[in-house]
Chain A
Amino acid sequence: MEFMILEQKRADCYKLLAALFYPPEKQTLMDEDVCGSLFQILDDVSPEASAYASGMRNAIDRTDAKELSIAHAKLFVGPFELQAPPYGSVYLEENKMLMGDSTIDVMKMYQRAGLGLSEENKDAPDHIAIELEFMHYLVSKEVQSMQDGDMNEALEYLKMQHVFFDKYLSPWVEAFCSKIIEASEVEFFRLLATCLSIFINRTPVPGTIPDRAGAST
Chain B
Amino acid sequence: MADEKIKKVSIVCSKGSLEGIYPALIMANGARMEGIEVNLFFTFFGMDAITKKKVKKIKVATVGNPAMGIPTLIGALPGMSAFATRMMQKKMDALDIPPIDEFIEMIGAAGGKLYACKATVDMFGLSKEDFVDEVESILTVGDFYALSAGGQIIFT
Q: Do A and B bind each other?
A: no
Interface positions of A (Cβ within 8 A of B): none
Q: Which residues of B contact A (CB under 8 A)?
A: none
